[in-house]
Amino acid sequence: MPQLKGIEPLYGRSVHHCPYCDGFEHCDQPLAVYGAGDKGAGLALMMKLWSSDVVLCTDGKGEISATMQERLLVVHNESILQLEGTEHGYLHTIRLQSGQALKRSAMFFTTGCVQSPDLSASLGCIRDEKGGIIGRRLTEESSVDGVYVAGDASRDVLLVAVAIAEGAKAGVAINRALLIEDGLC
């Protein structure tokens, strides 16, 4: 989660990390995206599926390519001073360092995901360039026999529904492997 003053009481109600999970609830509302560089710009462009009124707040971090800059209408590069909302967790203002107040109903953020490499590295799992553990799609088994992968550790589609499906597939594969090991299959 971004380290922004005032974010905690808003997170989950009007500040979100997943547009697929929470974008529809904020359809046609004035939205903000918090993110650096082209990754932030990409999320801001994606949010235009839900609203035509989207601004990008970079908090002064990351460069936006000329191609992405052309496609965005409003970019605020200065630091965010604080988020202000109602006592029920609804964002209403993003206050910038200059004192400018952005009236927004919701904010979506992208801060990146980094896998904690210690466990998978110590087990010898092969990982992709983003640090995700590479697994077999059918069984979710990693490159190390007996090590199975599901959810955020395996793919860059970080959705609960995907993690549940991968976990179910891994569970069935683990059960089958144990049955084979015991000579029951």
Report pLDDT digits (tens) over 18-42.
898 899 999 999 999 999 999 999 9
| 5/127 Cα distance (integer angstroms) | 35
Mean confidence (pLDDT) of the chain: 89
For residues 33 and 57, membership in a common domain is answered with: yes
Question: Which pLDDT value is given to residue 156?
Answer: 62
* Residue 140 maps to a domain: yes
Question: Which pLDDT value is given to residue 102?
Answer: 98
Q: Which domain holds residue 60?
A: 15-109
In the listed set 76, 93, 109, which residue is the last one of a domain according to the structure?
A: 109
Does the pLDDT at position 114 exceed 70? no
- Whole-model pTM: value is 0.75
Question: Is residue 33 within 8 Å of residue 47, measured between CB atoms?
Answer: yes
DSSP state, residue 26: G
* Residue 71 maps to a domain: yes
For residues 30 and 85, membership in a common domain is answered with: yes
* Residue 5 maps to a domain: no
In the listed set 109, 144, 169, which residue is the last one of a domain according to the structure?
A: 109
Total domains, the chain: 2
Does the pLDDT at position 93 exceed 80? yes
For residues 98 and 174, membership in a common domain is answered with: no
In the listed set 52, 75, 109, which residue is the last one of a domain according to the structure?
A: 109
Nearest to 43 by CA among 64, 25, 60: 64
Count of beta carbons in the 10 Å neighbourhood of residue 180: 10
For residues 101 and 139, membership in a common domain is answered with: no
For residues 143 and 94, membership in a common domain is answered with: no
> Which CATH number characterizes residue 81's domain?
3.50.50.60
Chain Cα centroid distance, residue 88: 24
